Amino acid sequence: MAYVSLDTTKIYNWASFHKICAEAFGFPDFYGQNMSAWVDCLTYLHEGDGMSRFILGEGEHLFVLLLDFEAFNQRVPDIAEALLSCTAFVNRRYLEQKEMPRLALVLQ
């Protein structure tokens, strides 16, 4: 089982969101710091393409723990909504590839 924690208490704007995500997921130095790049980095977790520090095995999920999600959602609702919708988009990509969804959000 793979998991990563995002400390949402440190997210106040888009720059801090992308910084926290790049560190937590292990995105490469050339990460574009936008949601399209975020989606691309998390789409091939099962292939070990070097876009993340995670390489998921057969049937494995990446659990993303979102600490203090309610306050995060109130503080930066546009970022919280983008995180939710882009996670759903990543999982749809897996389904389109005839793979099972790989990302699971845990709201704490």
* Residues 8-65 pLDDT 10s: 999 999 999 999 999 999 999 999 999 999 999 999 998 889 999 999 998 899 999 9
Query: Which range marks the domain in which residue 101 is found?
Result: 2-107
Specify the pTM. 0.94
Residue 70 clears pLDDT 90, i.e. is over it:
yes
The CATH code of the domain that includes 38 is: 3.30.370.10
Residue 1 clears pLDDT 90, i.e. is over it:
no
* Count: domains in the chain: 1
**What is the DSSP secondary-structure string of 53-100?**
S----TT--EEEEEETHHHHHHH-HHHHHHHHHHHHHHHHHHHHTT--
Residue 4 clears pLDDT 90, i.e. is over it:
yes
Average of pLDDT values for 74-78? 98
- Comparing CA positions, the residue from 74, 56, 80, 78 lying closest to residue 6 is 80
